[in-house]
Amino acid sequence: MTARSTWEELEQAARRARSQAYAPYSRFTVGAALKAKSGAVFVGCNVENASYGATICAERAALAAAIAAGERELVALAIVSGASDPIPPCGICRQSLAELAPELSIRSFTDDAQTDFELQGLLPSAFGAKSLT
Ligand code: THU
């Protein structure tokens, strides 16, 4: 169970991060905030590129920041976008997040709505380290 105060903190951090998004091509700005078991919060925004495939999603940017800070256990993720409905993370982000946080709780926000997801529900039967053996 993720506390209400945690979600409020993550929502605020993700909204701030979204304001820094670099999305001149899609104009679809996304912010993400990831809470580690230590309590620290790491944010990311989408970073697009003229070579579109080089784009990094907000969720993976937040994941990279957490890992670079030495975190390995991640507990909750907030996503903020300007879509008409709260967005789930894309397929690539689901796979990236499952590597380190298969049981991650996710709350996605728009300006006036929110939806909860569980990573396990979004990516059942994930390919993982065990699959390599
Ligand atoms: N994007 C994210 O940052 N996160 C998602 O969950 C979905 C998509 C970004 C990638 C691209 O910059 C823009 O949103 C449109 O796909």
Q: What is the mean pLDDT of residues 82-107?
A: 97
Q: How many whole angstroms from its chain centre is CA 118?
A: 12
- The domain spans of the chain are 4-123
- Residues 24-83 pLDDT 10s: 999 999 999 999 999 999 999 999 999 999 999 999 999 999 999 999 999 999 999 999
- The protein residue whose alpha carbon is closest to atom 3 in ligand 1 is 57
- The protein residue whose alpha carbon is closest to atom 10 in ligand 1 is 57
Active site residue 118: no
**Strand 30-36's sheet: what is its strand order?**
41-45, 30-36, 74-81, 105-109, 114-118
Cα-to-centroid distance, 133 and ligand 1 (Å): 32
Q: How many whole angstroms from its chain centre is CA 22?
A: 16
- Residues 70-85 pLDDT 10s: 999 999 999 999 999 9
Distance CA 101, CA 36 (A): 10
Q: What is the mean pLDDT of residues 8-13?
A: 98
Identity of the residue numbered 107:
R
pLDDT score, position 1: 79
Confirm or reject CATH 1.10.274.10 for domain 4-123, answering yes or no: no
Q: Is the pLDDT of residue 19 over 90?
A: yes
Distance CA 95, CA 122 (A): 10
Pick the catalytic residue: 8, 9, 48, 59?
59
Q: Are 17 and 32 in contact (CB under 8 A)?
A: yes
